[in-house]
Amino acid sequence: MATVKLPADAKPLAREVHRLMVERSLSMRALAARAGVSYDFVRDIIRGQSKKPNAESLGKLAAFLDRTTEELINPGRPGQFQEDEKTIKTPEEFRWIRLWRRASDIGRDRLLSAAENALIGDLRGSGEAEDI
């Protein structure tokens, strides 16, 4: 993957997309393909050439990066989790969060049930949940 350089005056949107792209070891082309947006769209955001990005494409990009559109446009603003205990630290946590965000209400109920069953099984296996 070629290193993409940000302009010195890069906007918060460009910085956040670039940060997430690098964090996931994606090129601009790979990011565009996986998010379902055009390469030109991603390139223009990173270069700061997109003054009013298309809302639909920005939504697709945000969804792929597991962020809201607001979180991409205004990273680190109030309302976002900043505390260490709420930071996603492992790829497994990242996958769970991604599943959660993409799940419907019924899917979320199923995820909660599966997680609860897994936790109960772990507790039983360790002898910590004799009465469960």
Contact 41, 97 (CB under 8 A): no
For residue 31, how many other CB atoms are within 10 A of its CB?
25
Burial class (CB in 10 A: 0-12, 13-18, 19+), 113: exposed
> What is the reported pLDDT for 84?
45
> What is the reported pLDDT for 81?
45
Written as six digits, the tokens of 45 are 């955001």
The tens place of each residue's pLDDT in the chain, 132 residues long, gives 556 777 778 888 898 999 999 888 999 999 999 999 999 999 999 988 887 888 899 999 999 998 888 888 887 654 444 444 555 566 777 777 777 777 777 777 887 888 888 888 777 776 655 555
| Region of residue 37 (phi > 0: left; psi between -120 and 50: alpha; otherwise: beta) | beta
The pTM score is: 0.57
